[in-house]
Chain A
């Protein structure tokens, strides 16, 4: 049995890699320390809080673990070693993640003395009923798929009348499975909807350059939270230190909530975020909205297994505000009907499809309606819109609905990311939006239409600003990078199922 207080303490330090540094001699420690061993009593009260969450380290020495202890068995073989930060001022133990090591001959020296980036992951296997242990003493190489990026806070230059997106981040892992019409993203075994949400949020902060303490609320939309009861959003808020931090109590002054409406759990909240930052009485300069899913699907041989050709894994995070906006939200429209086209009952591991409702009475009806109603409301014609992005459960649906509304290939293809990553459920339409924002020029209009089974759609019209291009340089880990990076690794079906099931 795990102990909740221990889990709380370990993850409070370990998720963020918190440490201390002595303001007298500069000595640094991993973990919080109230005094410095070198300076002794005079350093009491003069230790500064530091953390290594956005830092890069060096894997100094490592070994190949083939026989892990019991809780690590599902990880298979892995590299374990010593990682140093700040030129050896601090050394921590670490495990390399995102590597499938099947070969018996491993040249350890090829791993050593390379830069590594801390990654937030599940720690090890526990009982299904227990608190999920997490940690960031897991690392990947900075010169591979996931680059090291500094989090530089910048003072905002311009305030906009219309609120909108001020930064965003997309995270999909480097593992993929190939299908006839698409590639699907596959989590590594220590990943889940929680870890992806933190990754995306981290990347959005890096891109936005805002002060994370100014975030007033975080929404996390998901339908694959590994907990039936316990929010992902609280983990995101704690790890990313959103809102003002009260260190003595270990509290973040932020509102955090999970939302659920199948695949529109995140897009639905864009309007709430926009409205909150606009309302002066809220005193919330920024709001973060995350869509994250380890999209669930029964194995192909079972009922509901038809989904197992399409589902992906990934997350996207958007930060809304009025300062240094890159895309203003000019309007929205939502529609809802009680249509059971897709559901998952409590305690059931995999969702089911209501075959007769899938498609026409659900996806197509709601998306077309939302798109057309919003265009009507804003007086927009097809030609006024530069990009059309819709929810993308497969390749054919979003193309079909885009064509039915009247959009042309150049309008809908840039946002069609399901071909690269599969259906990432809550993250699917937002990843499409991110791909478009990665490319869009200033003063372009994007029509985003999310869809959630059950059923409903939210349509948004966004107009990019001149700041979109200057902020672009802040994000190396773009959607295109993740789609095309040479470090992407393909796995077979059995490996995919094992990885997806997790620790």
Chain B
């Protein structure tokens, strides 16, 4: 897409992720939106529309019309739409800005999962097909099945099984390491490889507690503007050069290939085409590490690693970790904010944290976690999934 048409992110904001038991969900989104508006230098009356996302507020907090709360919060009567994921909200905002309908839109996401601690794993099953649930599926089960299918398909056995297991654990260790430099992250502490492995041994499973993203509360927001408006405001504008989504069957067992997400592949291809770049041009990526396995699978789905090879890239890169993966012989920074694993995973807000990170990195404002690249850092991408690969959203961000 030609640069003149790309929507521009003029400001980003987020809360710390974690357990906010003292805060209502409205307070979280208020904090995120205020931070975003400050960083964008806009007033609430500048907003033409709002797109907000959450998965479970209806269940966790009995909030049925989120738009009404946001209207009250901002004292605005502008059009607002609610989606599940932040990336979905962002994609819709991009579409409407590109269509020339709005000039400035608020994109926000929030989730309050810890308010329903006892039932949240059941709630998460809403993201699977009902029949899998009826048959006894759990939020973790499909990850474990996918790992086994992956190992079978790529004939990984013996010593390689060991290496694959270590590689997956290293993803968690690496993401925790990144989060130590992210003051907004849920877990700002290092973990060791041994602990990840010990948690797996405790339950005799290939993926353990430290392989999965946590239950989190949090909110994120950004201000999206049309190029005409934005160029007057932002000092270091980051534009959305490519945005795409794709879908897949909700029933995991019914999918043809259960070792990758076809939706991720399609979304990435379309986003690259829209941005008119190749995946080699992307040097930083936020991937949806709902589990360590999904970060690894996504490396392949987005074309950074060859099929069946991502675990090798991870294993080799993490042996003596330099802050980036070497995938297919080139540097790739992944989940520099700590990923879902360590930054946190408040579902509706998660995609916003991904975009927040890419924006900060591309602006060179990521503080002590700022990546150092030999070449100029121009493109970053964020992959967000809904459900177990049922929907995939890829946004490619470019520094102008």
Interchain CB contact under 8 A, A108 and B134: no
Contacts of A123 in B (CB 8 A): 134
Interchain CB contact under 8 A, A64 and B205: yes
Interchain CB contact under 8 A, B134 and A91: no
Interchain CB contact under 8 A, B253 and A91: yes
Indicate which residue in B129, B131, B136, B253 contacts A75 across the interface (CB closer than 8 Å).
Answer: B136
Contacts of B145 in A (CB 8 A): 61-63, 81-82
Indicate which residue in B131, B144, B205 contacts A92 across the interface (CB closer than 8 Å).
Answer: B131
Q: Is A10 an interface residue (CB 8 A)?
A: yes
Interchain CB contact under 8 A, A65 and B136: yes
The docked-state distance in angstroms from the alpha carbon of A137 to that of B130 is 12
The interface bits of chain B over 144-186 (1 if a CB of A lies within 8 angstroms of the residue's CB, else 0) are 1100110010000000000000000000000000000000000
Q: Kindly identify, within residues 54 to 84 of chain A, every residue whose CB is under 8 Å from any CB belonging to chain B.
A: 61-72, 75, 78, 80-83
A317 CB to nearest chain B CB (Å):
26
Nearest A residue to B201 via CB reads: A104
Contacts of A82 in B (CB 8 A): 145, 252-253, 258
Contacts of B122 in A (CB 8 A): 69-71
Contacts of A251 in B (CB 8 A): none
Q: Is A105 an interface residue (CB 8 A)?
A: yes
A104 and B204 contact, Cβ closer than 8 Å, known pairs A61-B152, A69-B138: yes
Interchain CB contact under 8 A, A93 and B119: no
B287 CB to nearest chain A CB (Å):
23
Helix, strand, loop or mixed for chain B's interface? helix
Q: Is A169 an interface residue (CB 8 A)?
A: no
Q: Is B137 an interface residue (CB 8 A)?
A: yes
A106 and B138 contact, Cβ closer than 8 Å, known pairs A81-B145, A91-B254, A93-B132: no
Interchain CB contact under 8 A, B204 and A105: yes
The docked-state distance in angstroms from the alpha carbon of A14 to that of B203 is 31
Nearest B residue to A92 via CB reads: B253
Contacts of B121 in A (CB 8 A): 67, 69-70
Q: Kindly identify, within residues 81 to 115 of chain A, every residue whose CB is under 8 Å from any CB belonging to chain B.
A: 81-83, 91-95, 104-106, 108, 112
Interchain CB contact under 8 A, B135 and A137: yes
The docked-state distance in angstroms from the alpha carbon of A75 to that of B136 is 10
Q: Is B133 an interface residue (CB 8 A)?
A: yes
A69 and B203 contact, Cβ closer than 8 Å, known pairs A80-B135, A80-B136: no
Q: Is B366 an interface residue (CB 8 A)?
A: no
Q: Is A120 an interface residue (CB 8 A)?
A: no
The docked-state distance in angstroms from the alpha carbon of A360 to that of B138 is 55
Q: Is A416 an interface residue (CB 8 A)?
A: no
Indicate which residue in B139, B141, B254 contacts A63 across the interface (CB closer than 8 Å).
Answer: B141
Q: Is B274 an interface residue (CB 8 A)?
A: no
Q: Is B125 an interface residue (CB 8 A)?
A: yes
The interface bits of chain A over 263-278 (1 if a CB of B lies within 8 angstroms of the residue's CB, else 0) are 0000000000000000
Contacts of A105 in B (CB 8 A): 204
Interchain CB contact under 8 A, B141 and A95: no
Interchain CB contact under 8 A, A63 and B148: yes
Contacts of A132 in B (CB 8 A): none
Interchain CB contact under 8 A, A93 and B125: no
Interchain CB contact under 8 A, B204 and A95: no
Nearest A residue to B136 via CB reads: A95
Count of interface residues, chain B, beta-carbon cutoff 8 Å: 31
Interchain CB contact under 8 A, A106 and B204: yes
B319 CB to nearest chain A CB (Å):
28
Indicate which residue in A83, A104, A137 contacts B134 across the interface (CB closer than 8 Å).
Answer: A137
A105 CB to nearest chain B CB (Å):
5
Interchain CB contact under 8 A, A78 and B136: yes
Nearest A residue to B143 via CB reads: A63
Q: Is A421 an interface residue (CB 8 A)?
A: no
The docked-state distance in angstroms from the alpha carbon of A68 to that of B190 is 29
Contacts of A81 in B (CB 8 A): 145
The docked-state distance in angstroms from the alpha carbon of A463 to that of B122 is 57
Q: Is A135 an interface residue (CB 8 A)?
A: yes
The interface bits of chain A over 126-157 (1 if a CB of B lies within 8 angstroms of the residue's CB, else 0) are 00000001010110000000000000000000
Nearest B residue to A72 via CB reads: B136
Q: Is A35 an interface residue (CB 8 A)?
A: no
Q: Kindly identify, within residues 194 to 234 of chain B, every residue whose CB is under 8 Å from any CB belonging to chain A.
A: 203-205
B249 CB to nearest chain A CB (Å):
10
The docked-state distance in angstroms from the alpha carbon of A382 to that of B254 is 62
Q: Is A30 an interface residue (CB 8 A)?
A: yes
Interchain CB contact under 8 A, B134 and A14: yes
B208 CB to nearest chain A CB (Å):
11
Indicate which residue in A30, A31, A65, A69 contacts B133 across the interface (CB closer than 8 Å).
Answer: A69
The CB with the most chain A CB atoms within 10 A, among B125, B145, B253, is that of B253
Contacts of A95 in B (CB 8 A): 135-136
The docked-state distance in angstroms from the alpha carbon of A71 to that of B121 is 11
The docked-state distance in angstroms from the alpha carbon of A69 to that of B125 is 9
Indicate which residue in A83, A108, A133 contacts B148 across the interface (CB closer than 8 Å).
Answer: A108
The docked-state distance in angstroms from the alpha carbon of A92 to that of B253 is 6
Interchain CB contact under 8 A, B205 and A66: yes
B161 CB to nearest chain A CB (Å):
11
Interchain CB contact under 8 A, A66 and B203: yes
Q: Kindly identify, within residues 99 to 153 of chain B, every residue whose CB is under 8 Å from any CB belonging to chain A.
A: 118-119, 121-122, 125, 129-141, 144-145, 148-149, 152
B200 CB to nearest chain A CB (Å):
12
Interchain CB contact under 8 A, B136 and A68: yes
Interchain CB contact under 8 A, A68 and B138: yes
A309 CB to nearest chain B CB (Å):
34
The docked-state distance in angstroms from the alpha carbon of A359 to that of B229 is 95
The docked-state distance in angstroms from the alpha carbon of A106 to that of B141 is 15
Contacts of A80 in B (CB 8 A): 135-138, 141
The docked-state distance in angstroms from the alpha carbon of A133 to that of B204 is 31
Q: Kindly identify, within residues 297 to 355 of chain B, every residue whose CB is under 8 Å from any CB belonging to chain A.
A: none
The docked-state distance in angstroms from the alpha carbon of A61 to that of B274 is 38
Nearest A residue to B121 via CB reads: A69
Nearest B residue to A81 via CB reads: B145
The docked-state distance in angstroms from the alpha carbon of A140 to that of B175 is 41
A65 and B138 contact, Cβ closer than 8 Å, known pairs A70-B119, A93-B132, A108-B148: yes
Contacts of B135 in A (CB 8 A): 80, 92-95, 135, 137-138
The docked-state distance in angstroms from the alpha carbon of A123 to that of B122 is 15
Contacts of A70 in B (CB 8 A): 118-119, 121-122
B190 CB to nearest chain A CB (Å):
26
Nearest B residue to A91 via CB reads: B253
B113 CB to nearest chain A CB (Å):
15
Q: Kindly identify, within residues 194 to 221 of chain A, every residue whose CB is under 8 Å from any CB belonging to chain B.
A: none
Nearest A residue to B123 via CB reads: A69
Q: Kindly identify, within residues 240 to 270 of chain B, every residue whose CB is under 8 Å from any CB belonging to chain A.
A: 251-254, 258
Nearest B residue to A66 via CB reads: B203
Interchain CB contact under 8 A, A10 and B253: no
Contacts of A108 in B (CB 8 A): 148
The CB with the most chain A CB atoms within 10 A, among B118, B138, B140, is that of B138
Contacts of B125 in A (CB 8 A): 69
Interchain CB contact under 8 A, A14 and B131: yes
The docked-state distance in angstroms from the alpha carbon of A80 to that of B133 is 10
Interchain CB contact under 8 A, B254 and A30: yes
Interchain CB contact under 8 A, B148 and A61: yes
The docked-state distance in angstroms from the alpha carbon of A137 to that of B129 is 14
The docked-state distance in angstroms from the alpha carbon of A254 to that of B131 is 29
Contacts of A78 in B (CB 8 A): 136
A10 and B134 contact, Cβ closer than 8 Å, known pairs A65-B141, A91-B254: yes
Provide 23 A-B residue pairs closer than 8 Å at the C-beta atoms, listed in order of the A residue.
Answer: A31-B131, A63-B148, A65-B136, A66-B205, A67-B138, A69-B125, A69-B139, A70-B118, A70-B122, A71-B122, A72-B136, A75-B136, A80-B135, A80-B141, A92-B131, A93-B131, A93-B135, A93-B251, A94-B135, A95-B135, A123-B134, A124-B134, A138-B135
Sorted nearest first, the 4 A-B pairs with minimum C-beta distance are A63-B144, A95-B136, A93-B135, A137-B135
Chain A positions within 8 Å of B, measured between CB atoms, are 10, 14, 30-31, 61-72, 75, 78, 80-83, 91-95, 104-106, 108, 112, 123-124, 133, 135, 137-138
Sample of 6 more A-B contacts, CB < 8 Å, known A62-B145, A93-B134: A68-B136, A93-B129, A93-B251, A93-B253, A94-B135, A104-B204
